[in-house]
Amino acid sequence: MAETQVDTRVAGAEESFLFIGELAKQTGIDPKTIRFYERAELLSPPRHGKFRTYLATDVRRLQNILRLRRLGVPIAQIRDVLERVGDCPNILEIEQAASMLRAHLDVLRSKHVEISRQIEQTATLLETRAA
């Protein structure tokens, strides 16, 4: 659905805003993904008339969300850390976020060990079957 191009400056405000299509293009993700993060309460952009409007703080917050999702961090953990640390340009610079990531890394390492074990067992089973 195409959005009407309008002046992206809020009257009387110092900061410009983006509409969802512009934000999607800037971040390289689908508008549906942005709406999903809104429903998950990770983003809560203000509205300008009937349109959602995203400020620079929303863009930074979305970039942090995307960075954490690429690392496999669950939505609930992202919401928790964002509630604790607020908005910052780089969430990875905040100790609480780094602590959460260290715990997440421990979980990933544990899963890696388990998956490696399962791979080995499956390969062994298939080798004995083929023999």
pLDDT band at 127 (very low <50, low <70, confident <90, very high): very high
Q: Which of 55, 41, 50, 45 is nearest to 8 (CA)?
A: 55
Domain chopping of the chain, boundaries:
20-130
Residue recorded with tokens 């908005």 = 87
Residue 50 has pLDDT above 90, yes or no: no
pTM for this prediction: 0.77
Lookup: tokens for 26:
């800037």
Lookup: tokens for 6:
């309008």
The domain 20-130 is placed in CATH, from the list 1.10.275.10, 1.10.1660.10, 2.60.120.960, 3.40.50.1820, at 1.10.1660.10
**Residue-wise pLDDT tens digits, 22-41:** 999 999 999 999 999 999 99
